[in-house]
Chain A
Amino acid sequence: GEDVEQSLFLSVREGDSSVINCTYTDSSSTYLYWYKQEPGAGLQLLTYIFSNMDMKQDQRLTVLLNKKDKHLSLRIADTQTGDSAIYFCAESAGGYQKVTFGTGTKLQVIP
């Protein structure tokens, strides 16, 4: 079955860049997503990338996809304390959009 893995924890200083990594196993993944979950809240879609793209940039967020290695990363430039949250990588191979989520990376931003 599908498997999506992430490191559990990342700590950065305010103003630095954060890079959250994710690996997946399903080679038929069509869409790859990054979701953000703040404490006590639901999941908020940050950005997504189609599998035929290598990179997508959206303001402070940059998503890189290495399809050969099945590796996805999310870079947050100029990280702020408000970026502290759990970040979930997710993938979908289509077919009524069954989405498989990673284990989540807790990002801690130190002032």
Chain B
Amino acid sequence: DTAVSQTPKYLVTQMGNDKSIKCEQNLGHDTMYWYKQDSKKFLKIMFSYNNKELIINETVPNRFSPKSPDKAHLNLHINSLELGDSAVYFCASSQASVETQYFGPGTRLLVL
């Protein structure tokens, strides 16, 4: 009974490629997020969607494009991957009325 799931768990790819990471939550939450955790474990929010609408868009290169087909899914597409994109990407979800975010297991992206 996975609450927040991400695929793939690991992603190794070459510079310049385009890749997608998928996130799904079965908690019935209305808000979903993408976070990036760098090699020093620093965690920073990238995007937030509430009811399929973009709410938070931090200073992220426009090579990163989130897409929310429905409330339960928030995918992250990355164009023209760069070495600096190597990190762990975490998806999270919450219910707007409750201040608690539930995190997925993370996707470890390595760009060579």
- Which residues of A pack against B, CB within 8 Å? 30-31, 35, 37, 41-45, 48, 86, 88, 92, 94, 96-101, 103-104, 106
Partner of A43, one of B42, B45, B94, B103: B103
CA distance A94 to B62 in the complex (A): 26
Q: Mark B32-69, 1 if CB is under 8 A from A, else 0.
A: 00010000111111001010000110000000000000
Partner of A45, one of B42, B43, B100: B100
CA distance A96 to B93 in the complex (A): 12
Q: Mark B1-45, 1 if CB is under 8 A from A, else 0.
A: 000100000000000000000000000000100010000111111
User: Known contacts A86-B41, A96-B31, A103-B42: does B101 contact A45 (CB below 8 Å)?
Assistant: yes
CA distance A42 to B101 in the complex (A): 12
B111 CB to closest chain A CB (Å) equals 19
**How many residues of chain B have a CB within 8 Å of chain A?**
25
For B4, list chain A residues within 8 Å (CB). Answer: 42
B108 CB to closest chain A CB (Å) equals 9
For B102, list chain A residues within 8 Å (CB). Answer: 45
Tally of A-B residue pairs with Cβ under 8 A?
55
For B42, list chain A residues within 8 Å (CB). Answer: 101, 103-104
Partner of A31, one of B40, B96, B99: B99
CA distance A41 to B104 in the complex (A): 9
Partner of B100, one of A37, A48, A88, A104: A48
B47 CB to closest chain A CB (Å) equals 11
User: Known contacts A42-B90, A42-B106: does B99 contact A97 (CB below 8 Å)?
Assistant: yes
Residue of A31, A37, A100, A106 ringed by the most chain B CB atoms within 10 A: A37
For A104, list chain B residues within 8 Å (CB). Answer: 41-43
CA distance A45 to B103 in the complex (A): 9
B54 CB to closest chain A CB (Å) equals 10
Partner of A92, one of B40, B43, B90, B99: B99
Partner of A101, one of B43, B48, B96, B104: B43
CA distance A82 to B41 in the complex (A): 20
